[in-house]
Amino acid sequence: MTAMVGLADIVQARSRIADRVRRTPLVPSPSLAIRCGTPVFLKLESHQTTGSFKLRGATNALLSLSDEARLRGLVTASTGNHGRALAYAAREAGVRAVVCMSSLVPDNKVEAVRALGAEVRIVGHSQDDAQEEVDRLVSEQGLTAIPPFDHEAVIAGQGTAGLEIVEDSPQAELILVPLSGGGLAAGVAAAVKGRIPHARVVGVSMERGAAMQASLLAGKPVLVEELETLADSLGGGIGLDNRHTFAMCRDLLDDVVLLSESEIAEGIRHAFMVEGEIVEGAGAVGIAALLAGKVAPKGPVVVLVSGRNIDEVRHRTIVHASITNAHTSPEARV
């Protein structure tokens, strides 16, 4: 039996985390509005503390624990935006956080997690080895594992971004949400549908390794091969034992669209050159979906821009490649 996270849980999460996360800006995009023929707004979670919305879920999960559990500490195997968010939330709360990583994780990622005050454990040579260490710390030291998406308090926390969207843009008819494990999409869809039932919520993933889309088509969680992609924060599976996000995405999302790597690059480029925003691949997929014409909005659109944590050299390469091609595709900056 799966439990759905509802509007009431999200409203409660909001009051719990309000003074620990930013209320991020919702800004109009005149250039996308001209292209789409309807107002377009960007919800800039790329401006969230730690560089992504993940701080919302991590903070809500931490604050939902009993004092006793919180004092024993938290653990995760995520080295990406969730690990970063959990490390930060734990430090702010004065709580121990352990991030387990395999020896294959690059030094700069290890240092980034350490810099946020988390304890790093290097174990084995794979993500599975790191996850085994998480399980061991849970059973031997009583730490609490906070997973990146399939967890009720995490989903409710991510949903607070959806509440802000409907408050700042109550006329929205279409919300575009980056989709990987589905914690963000499930939470945002629950908030949006709770407040504006006729609004459409569409998930956006990359063609290369879209685990939720493959699972929705199969009618149950399935494994997909993980491939390298510009939207690296969208990589990874949804878990064959998925308890919440699969059912919520199945029931609440109106559609899922997939993007090629060059379409994602175009989204990153547009975010920087036209909107003046540094956005990582996963964060740019909503913009990319509009640019590629993969969704055809008829009314006001909100694009959730989920994060900004992209390697600087990679970002420069993508933007530069488009500058050298610029004479073939002139575009006014609106």
Ligand X SMILES: *Cc1c(COP(=O)(O)O)cnc(C)c1O
DSSP of 195-230: H-TT-EEEEEEESTT-HHHHHHHHTS---------S
Residue 209 or 283 with smaller CB distance to ligand X: 283
Residues 66-125 that bind ligand X (CB under 6 A): 81
Residue 183 or 267 with smaller CB distance to ligand X: 183
Distance CA 195, CA 167 (A): 9
Residues touching ligand X: how many (CB under 6 A)? 19
The distance of closest approach from Cβ of residue 261 to ligand X in the complex, given in angstroms and rounded to an integer, is 16
The distance of closest approach from Cβ of residue 285 to ligand X in the complex, given in angstroms and rounded to an integer, is 8
- Candidates 10, 84, 95; CA nearest to 49 is 84
Of positions 14, 20, 43, 54, contacts ligand X by CB under 6 A: 54
Q: What torsion, rounded to 10 degrees, do the Cα atoms 49, 53, 58, 59 define? A: 50
In the 8-state DSSP scheme, what is residue 45?
G
Contact flags string 244-283 toward ligand X, x per CB under 6 A: ------------------------------------x-xx
Residue 39 or 237 with smaller CB distance to ligand X: 237
3-state secondary structure of 271: helix
Asked if residue 237 binds ligand X (CB under 6 A), the reply is no
Residue 102 or 180 with smaller CB distance to ligand X: 180
Distance CA 147, CA 255 (A): 25
Distance CA 210, CA 155 (A): 19
Of positions 29, 31, 50, 52, contacts ligand X by CB under 6 A: 52
Residue 39 or 213 with smaller CB distance to ligand X: 213
The distance of closest approach from Cβ of residue 330 to ligand X in the complex, given in angstroms and rounded to an integer, is 30
The distance of closest approach from Cβ of residue 186 to ligand X in the complex, given in angstroms and rounded to an integer, is 8
Distance CA 301, CA 297 (A): 7
φ/ψ of residue 43, rounded to 5? -95, 105
Q: Which residues 6+ apart lie within 8 Å of 59 measured at CB?
A: 16, 17, 20, 21, 85, 89, 157
Residue 39 or 77 with smaller CB distance to ligand X: 77
The distance of closest approach from Cβ of residue 173 to ligand X in the complex, given in angstroms and rounded to an integer, is 22
Q: Which residues 6+ apart lie within 8 Å of 272 measured at CB?
A: 278, 279, 315, 319
Residues 133-192 that bind ligand X (CB under 6 A): 149, 178-185
The distance of closest approach from Cβ of residue 136 to ligand X in the complex, given in angstroms and rounded to an integer, is 25
* Residue ranges in contact with ligand X by CB under 6 A: 52, 54, 81, 149, 178-185, 233-234, 280, 282-283, 306-307
